[in-house]
Amino acid sequence: MDDIFGIPAPLLFGQLLLGLINGAFYAMMSLGLAVIFGLLNIINFTHGAQFMMGAFAAWMLLEWAGLNYWWALVLVPIIIGFTGVVLERLMISRLYKLDHLYGLLLTFGLGLIIEGVFRNQFGSSGLPYRIPAELQGAWDLGFMFLPIYRGWVVIAALVLCLATWLIIEKTRLGAYLRAATENAPLVQAFGVNVPRMVTLTYGFGVALAAIGGVLAAPIYSVNPQMGTNLIIVVFAVVVIGGMGSILGSIITGFGLGIVEGLTKVFYPEASATVIFVIMAIVLLARPAGLFGRA
Amino acid sequence: MTPTRRSLLTASVGATLMPALPRLGRAQAANTIRIGVLNDQSGAYRDISGPYGIECTRQAVQEFGDKGFAVEVIAADHQNKPDVGANIARQWYDQGVDLIIDVPTSSVGLAVNNVAREKNKAYINTGSATSDLTGAQCSPTTIHWMYDTYMLAKSTGGAMVKAGGDSWFFITADYAFGHALERDTTNFIRAAGGRVNGSVKYPFPATSDFSSFLLQAQASRAKVIGFANAGADTINSIKQAAEFGVTRGGVKLAALLMFLPDVHAIGLRTAQGLVLTESFYWDLNDRTRAVSERLRPRLKDVRPNMASIANYSCTLHYLKAVADMGVAASKASGVEVINRMKAMPCDDDAFGAGTIRADGRKLCPSYLFEVKSPAESKGPWDYYKLLQTTPATEAFRPMNEGGCSLVRS
């Protein structure tokens, strides 16, 4: 078999594919963050906890209500999105007039509290969540053995990302959103209920995180720290892509997943740091991010 | 554990009264033994000991009863960070804590080892695995109570090689513990004529996706994939190995350090057939069943494992030594109280009779278990069947091979 940089080609293809799968999660998560930051100017550090809540909600629906994975995929974003709406109304909406830092502190603190509550309740080892029967098994691709479920995650993430992008860039609602981002008082003057739109946008961003959680539940064990592991990386992805850039966060999410995957082959010890090295370089060369407007 | 309004109020009232009653406070402190349980309360290793380790310690204090001195148990979270752990240890010893126990995560375990030696205070490690605690870094103030990497490598690693697994690939947590476990297991593999095809060291604790490493392991064509990790990492490794069909074609998985709660979290469907080593299983004999039953009100739905119940065992033995030599003398010198513990034979329901060697190694048998299939298991926590027992005298590294300075002199 041919070698590429001393690595057998099949192994390299396998790693690229795995990178794409992890990238799918990064893309979905950073998309939610970008949407929220774009309109609310809030850096939503509760995002990781909301991702985790999504996974736990799927587990609870299965264990306590007997509702399977497909139900969870529909219900969980609605339920967790609604908690987001309540959170925005009760707490976050009070901070819009203050510095970014307050929003960051509030959401960061809330994230820690939510994680702590779940840890006290459920422990740290995690709870098992079975892959749905329809998606069990694997495809033998020749160069690797690809679990069907992981393939499904990539497809689902791509569809979600594209749909979000289309809504924001191509629909009337999206046009209102973008306009409100630029100049909220003016949009309000045209009779659009901007505060309600802001609330629903936050709920939507949270719902995206929750879907990510449901998709992740069968892969990783459902545990309270699953969001913490992800949120810092995702935050770096958003910074690299450009704060608030929708397309930027999608492309950077998938791209960095692949970069991380390759690092795991060539120098595994650095796989947790490589994204931050890239972040530092991007910030030096293009402070607004790869796709951001300065 | 969790601070309630009442406990906070009491604490604040206590704090305001403190300066007014210095003599009373000091008189009480002089006759109170303070034990600090320092472990992971929030991360990958929480469920192995964490809150359960604290409860096991309290159970030992309760069973020890009143022998003329008071015993206070306090606890803290070291977050698996050596600097955090060493700082808490330093602060505790300075504030009159007489003994620190538990301390999982080998990097933290070794850091606290240095603090205890410097302060001449007693330290019993039940949670770290690195065999260096009784080897190059052994200390007169330290006892290593439970498993170590040599014992795990010999029992699980030795059994895998004997069963035909003569080529290995390691997936290793990149810190003191993973390195020591890989090193000790490699020695056994080589000694038995096997070879190591390769290894990856992944960042700890920032990794939750192991699929990439599993694929590399598969590509190496090794017969055995050795997981030199623990806790949530092992759980994720094994689940993902099943997902990617790594064991098709006869590749075996060796979970070199695995505990009962890990099996519980993975579920028997995926975990069945794995072999692992523990020094304790609640359903091993009448005594282990009895102590597990006594712990039930404290641990609720969870059964103890060798790490959490080691806190029970070592606390009992320590308190016996304190009763034997007096509170004042045991507070005065960590070396003295540890020496007294080494001189006394241990016996408790969890591990039975045992001894402590001059290098600080507590000796107990190690058991090789196989995880039951769902059909064999009668219910939650009925997970292990015993494959083989290594007697206490053979389970650990011979004292003269460790390079411990306490032994040479």
Q: Dump the DSSP string for B172-197.
A: EESSHHHHHHHHHHHHHHHHTT-EEE
| Cα pseudo-dihedral B218, B221, B223, B229, rounded to 10 | -40
Nearest to B371, CA basis, from B231, B284, B263: B263
Domains and CATH numbers, chain B: 31-147+285-364 (3.40.50.2300), 150-281+366-395 (3.40.50.2300)
Contact A77, A256 (CB under 8 A): no
Give the CA distances from residue A131 to residues A73, A153, A249, B85, B238, in Å, rounded to whole numbers and listed in that order: 13, 12, 28, 39, 15
Measured CA to CA, the distance from residue B44 to residue B208 in angstroms comes to: 10
What integer best gives the mean pLDDT of chain A?
88
Provide the percentage of residues in chain B whose pLDDT is more than 70.
93
Which residues span the domain enclosing A34? 3-285
Tokens of A133: 């029967």
Please write the tens of the pLDDT for every residue from A93-115. Answer: 888 888 888 988 999 999 999 99
Mean pLDDT of A174-178: 88
Stretch among A268-277, B125-134, B219-228 having the lowest mean pLDDT = A268-277
For the cut 90, the answer to whether the pLDDT of residue B198 exceeds it is yes
Interface check for A263 against chain B (CB to CB < 8 A): the answer is no
Stretch among A193-202, B9-18, B153-162 having the lowest mean pLDDT = B9-18
> How far does the CA of residue B242 sit from the closest CA of chain A (Å)?
10
**What does the pLDDT read at residue B24?**
39
Mean pLDDT of B231-237: 90
**B248 → chain A, closest CA residue:** A145
> How far does the CA of residue B267 sit from the closest CA of chain A (Å)?
7
Measured CA to CA, the distance from residue B220 to residue B243 in angstroms comes to: 19
B18 band by pLDDT with thresholds 50, 70 and 90:
very low
For the cut 90, the answer to whether the pLDDT of residue A265 exceeds it is no
For the cut 60, the answer to whether the pLDDT of residue B251 exceeds it is yes
Helices (H), B163-305: 176-191, 211-219, 232-243, 260-266, 268-271, 286-299
**What does the pLDDT read at residue A140?**
80
Give the CA distances from residue A68 to residues A98, A133, A173, in Å, rounded to whole numbers and listed in that order: 43, 10, 32
For the cut 70, the answer to whether the pLDDT of residue B92 exceeds it is yes
**What does the pLDDT read at residue A230?**
86
Interface check for A2 against chain B (CB to CB < 8 A): the answer is no
CB contact under 8 A, B212 and A18: yes
For the cut 60, the answer to whether the pLDDT of residue B14 exceeds it is no
B28 band by pLDDT with thresholds 50, 70 and 90:
low
Nearest to B352, CA basis, from B294, B258, B276, B281: B281
Contact A224, A119 (CB under 8 A): yes
Contact A59, A294 (CB under 8 A): no
CB contact under 8 A, B202 and A271: yes
A15 contacts on B by Cβ (under 8 Å): 212, 215
Angle between helices A9-40 and A226-241 (to 10 degrees): 80
Q: Which CATH number belongs to the domain containing residue A47 in this structure?
A: 1.10.3470
For the cut 50, the answer to whether the pLDDT of residue B21 exceeds it is no
CB contact under 8 A, A147 and B244: yes
The pTM of this model reads: 0.83
Contact B95, B70 (CB under 8 A): no
Residues A235-238: contacts with CB under 8 Å, at least 24 apart = A235/A33, A235/A43, A235/A45, A236/A275, A236/A276, A236/A278, A236/A279, A237/A26, A237/A27, A237/A29, A237/A30, A237/A275, A238/A30, A238/A33, A238/A34, A238/A37, A238/A289
Interface check for A252 against chain B (CB to CB < 8 A): the answer is no
A164 assigned to some structural domain: yes
The total number of structural domains that make up chain A: 1
Nearest to B320, CA basis, from B26, B125, B46, B71: B71
A215 band by pLDDT with thresholds 50, 70 and 90:
very high
For the cut 50, the answer to whether the pLDDT of residue A2 exceeds it is yes
Interface check for A195 against chain B (CB to CB < 8 A): the answer is no
A94 assigned to some structural domain: yes
Omega before A185 cis (within 30°)? no
Assess: ipTM above 0.90: no
Nearest to B331, CA basis, from B1, B64, B111, B26: B26
B330 band by pLDDT with thresholds 50, 70 and 90:
very high
Stretch among A278-292, B129-143, B183-197 having the lowest mean pLDDT = A278-292
A61 assigned to some structural domain: yes
Nearest to B82, CA basis, from B103, B63, B60: B103
SS3 label, residue B73: strand
Please write the tens of the pLDDT for every residue from B264-277. Answer: 988 898 899 999 99
A292 assigned to some structural domain: no
For the cut 90, the answer to whether the pLDDT of residue B86 exceeds it is yes
**What does the pLDDT read at residue B243?**
85
Please write the tens of the pLDDT for every residue from A33-43. Answer: 988 888 888 88
A290 assigned to some structural domain: no
Q: Chain B residues within 8 A (CB-CB) of chain A?
A: 2, 42-47, 50, 174, 200-203, 206-209, 211-213, 215-216, 219, 231-232, 235-236, 239-240, 243-245, 248, 261-262, 264-267
- Residue from A4, A122, A124 to probe the interface with B (highest B Cβ count within 10 Å): A124
SS3 label, residue A3: strand
**What does the pLDDT read at residue B409?**
53
Provide the percentage of residues in chain B whose pLDDT is more than 90.
78
The residue ranking higher by pLDDT, A12 or B280, is B280
* Per-residue three-class SS string for B329-378: HHHHCHHHHHHHHHHCCEEECCCEEEEECCCCEEECCEEEEEECCCCCCC
For the cut 70, the answer to whether the pLDDT of residue B1 exceeds it is no
A291 assigned to some structural domain: no
For the cut 50, the answer to whether the pLDDT of residue B310 exceeds it is yes
For the cut 80, the answer to whether the pLDDT of residue B12 exceeds it is no
Nearest by CB to A125, from B2, B243, B265: name it.
Answer: B265
The residue ranking higher by pLDDT, A220 or A60, is A60
Where in chain A does DSSP place strands (E)? 3-4, 7-8, 138-140, 145-147
